[in-house]
């Protein structure tokens, strides 16, 4: 798909979500995908994002990610909501004690509490089908029950661009909205290259022969070997690479079906 078609579909999805839900919010990790989604939101809503932007703060993010977050939040006048599970952090939850437990407490549980507190009925997320086999199975509008579970065995009928909108009154359901599900990693970078105003965390650009291809928590994310120091060079690199995007993300590979287990519990 061309970039224009990709962008049009994403904007259509965002405007559908805003029209259909009472209290949506968008998740922002400060990474390239969710920053692209924020940019698409600015396009869809003519500059000012009309709903809160949630940052899940595990306490383990890179310093540069916090700096980037605070700078963009101010520049784009974001209504930033920080979701942080202080209780778990105080209890000493950390990756060393088990990655499934750590991701679940510091990401999923932090988000669950934030959604409950603010009463969000839709969460806009920047996942893409090509990132992971399990994400390829997602719908554009994907319901979650009150325990946050993804009932992947019984997903809604989703015909054309008519998405199922479930009422949030039944079992405190919220809906996950996926505006860039149809994009590939390469599309994201080509789009960032085209739209010169999308800010990029400098950690994605190579220095000393290494760069980050996917950003997560500091203890569980490692850089790849790369000399791509500019966005143009990243686009070139991705055209030829044989390495998977999330190869530097430890939680995906601890054991078989880890990602499915995480996602069934409400992980993004």
Distance between CA atoms of residues 137 and 133, nearest Å: 7
Place of tokens 């909205």: 177
Among candidates 113, 139, 114, 131, which has minimal Cα distance to 16?
Answer: 139
Among the listed residues 158, 218, 233, 254, the single contact to another protein using CB under 8 A: 158
Among 25, 26, 27, 44, binds another protein (CB under 8 A): 44
The Cα angle at residue 117 between residues 116 and 121, in degrees rounded to 5:
50
Question: Of 66, 97, 162, 209, which lies in the binding site for another protein, with binding defined by CB under 8 A?
Answer: 162
Q: In 76-218, which ranges are continuous DSSP H helix?
A: 86-90, 99-103, 110-118, 185-194
Residue 257 as a binder of another protein (CB under 8 A): the answer is yes
Assess contact for 150 and 125: CB atoms under 8 A: no
CB nearer another protein, residue 79 or residue 113? 79
Total residues at interface with another protein (CB under 8 A): 51
Compare residues 4 and 97 and give the one whose CB is closer to another protein. Answer: 4
Residues numbered 202 to 231 that lie near another protein (CB under 8 A) are none
Structure tokens, 219 = 């203890």
Identify the residue among 52, 84, 145, 164 touching another protein (CB under 8 A).
164
Strand 53-56's sheet: what is its strand order? 80-83, 53-56, 24-27, 122-124, 174-177, 141-144
Using CB under 8 A, which of 63, 92, 96, 256 touches another protein? Answer: 256
Which residues lie near another protein (CB under 8 A)?
Answer: 1-2, 4-5, 8, 11-12, 15-16, 18-19, 42-47, 129-130, 132-134, 136-137, 139, 152-153, 155-160, 162, 164-167, 170, 182, 184, 197, 241-244, 247, 253, 256-257, 260
């Amino acid at each position: 798909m061309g970039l224009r078609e990709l962008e049009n579909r994403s904007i259509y999805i965002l405007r559908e979500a805003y029209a259909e839900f009472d209290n949506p919010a968008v998740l922002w990790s400060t990474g390239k995908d969710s920053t692209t989604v924020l940019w698409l939101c600015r396009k869809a809503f003519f500059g000012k994002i009309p709903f809160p932007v949630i940052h899940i703060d595990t306490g383990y993010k890179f310093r540069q990610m916090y700096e980037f977050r605070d700078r963009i939040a101010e520049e784009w006048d974001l209504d930033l909501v920080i979701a942080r599970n202080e209780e778990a952090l105080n209890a000493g939850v950390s990756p060393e004690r088990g990655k499934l437990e750590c991701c679940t407490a510091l990401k999923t549980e932090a988000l669950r509490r934030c959604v409950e507190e603010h009463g969000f009925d839709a969460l806009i997320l920047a996942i893409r089908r090509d990132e992971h086999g399990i994400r390829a199975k997602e719908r554009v509008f994907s319901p979650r029950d009150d325990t946050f579970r993804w009932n992947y065995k019984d997903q809604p009928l989703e015909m054309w661009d008519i998405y199922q909108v479930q009422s949030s009154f039944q079992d405190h359901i919220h809906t996950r909205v996926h505006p860039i599900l149809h994009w590939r990693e390469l599309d994201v970078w080509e789009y960032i290259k085209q739209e010169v105003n999308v800010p990029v965390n400098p950690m994605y650009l190579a220095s000393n022969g290494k760069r980050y291809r996917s950003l997560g928590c500091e203890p569980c994310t490692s850089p790849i070997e790369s000399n791509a120091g500019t966005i143009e060079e990243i686009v070139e690199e991705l055209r030829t690479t044989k390495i998977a995007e999330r190869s530097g993300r430890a939680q995906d590979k601890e054991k078989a079906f880890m990602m499915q287990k995480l996602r069934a519990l409400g992980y993004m």
